[in-house]
Amino acid sequence: MRAATALAAVLVAGSATLWQATDGLRAFTTEAARRLAVEAAPRRLPAATLEDQDGRSLRIADYAGGIVLVDFIYTRCPTVCTQMTDTLREVAAALPSRLGDGIHLLSISFDPDNDTTHALRDYAALQGADPTWRFARVVDRGDMPDLLEAFGVVVLPDGFGGYVHNAAIHVLDAEGRLAAIHDFTDVEGLVARLERTS
C-alpha cells in the first residue's frame, strides 16, 4: 500500500511538473513559450532611441495609440528577413487604407555596425517598401541587448559573417506593449488580428 501511494504521488507530481513546464503541453521550445507568455501578459518594452532610413529619430512610444508590426532583420540576410519583409508587405496590401494611420510597420536591424541609415534606405528601396514603413537601427548600441531581450529575440553569429535568429512578426498594441507574436509567414493571422482591432 505504501509503495502504491509513493508511486502514485511521484506520477502525479511528475505529470504536474511536466504540465507546468510545457504550459499545458503547448510550449516545448523557448519560441513557443515566449509567444504564449506575451499573449497572456503583454510586455512593456524599453525606451530605446532608434533612427530610421532617413536619419529621423524615433521611439516605440511615438506610436502610442496605433498598432505596430515589428520584425528584426539585418539587411545582408539572404533568407528569412526577406520573407518577413514579404509578409509585412502582403499585410499592408490587405489593409492599404490603414497603413500609416493606425497601423505602422517597423523593421529594426540588430546589426547596427553594418546597417547604416544608408544601407537601410537601400534595403527599403530594394524591397519596394511603402514610404510610411520605417527601417531603423538603435542609436546607442548599448540599447540593443535590452531591446532584443524584451522582445525575446536571440541572435547568434552563423560563423560565416551573418546571423541566425528567431524570426517572427511582433504586434505592439496601442499602449506600446508587445502583445502578440505571429509566425513570419502568417499573413492571414496578422490581417485577421488587425481587422479585429479596427
Q: Which is nearer to another protein, 156 or 192 (CB)?
A: 156
Q: Residue 175 in 3-state DSSP?
A: coil
Q: Does 13 bind another protein (CB under 8 A)?
A: yes
Determine contact, residues 83/135, Cβ cutoff 8 Å.
no
Among residues 26, 29, 49, 195, the one that binds another protein under rule CB under 8 A: 29
Among residues 106, 137, 166, 178, the one that binds another protein under rule CB under 8 A: 166
Q: Does 21 bind another protein (CB under 8 A)?
A: yes
Q: Does 25 bind another protein (CB under 8 A)?
A: no
10 Å Cβ neighbour count for 198?
Answer: 10
Q: Which is nearer to another protein, 29 or 132 (CB)?
A: 29
Q: Does 33 bind another protein (CB under 8 A)?
A: yes
47-86 residues near another protein, rule: CB under 8 A: none
Q: Does 26 bind another protein (CB under 8 A)?
A: no
Distances (CA, A) of 5 to 10, 16, 19, 88: 9, 16, 21, 56
Determine contact, residues 157/75, Cβ cutoff 8 Å.
no
- Range list of H helices, the chain: 2-21, 30-40, 80-94, 117-126, 144-151, 187-196
Which region among 4-12, 71-79, 101-109, 110-118 touches another protein (by CB under 8 A)? Answer: 4-12
Q: Does 158 bind another protein (CB under 8 A)?
A: yes
Instruction: Tell me the C-alpha distance between 189 and 59, whole Å.
Output: 26
The candidate with the shortest Cα–Cα distance to 124, out of 64, 76, 163, 75, is: 75
Q: Which is nearer to another protein, 18 or 61 (CB)?
A: 18
Q: Which residues pair with 164 in a beta bridge?
A: 156
> Which residues contact another protein (rule: CB under 8 A)?
2-3, 6-7, 10-11, 13-15, 17-18, 21-22, 27-33, 154, 156, 158-159, 164, 166
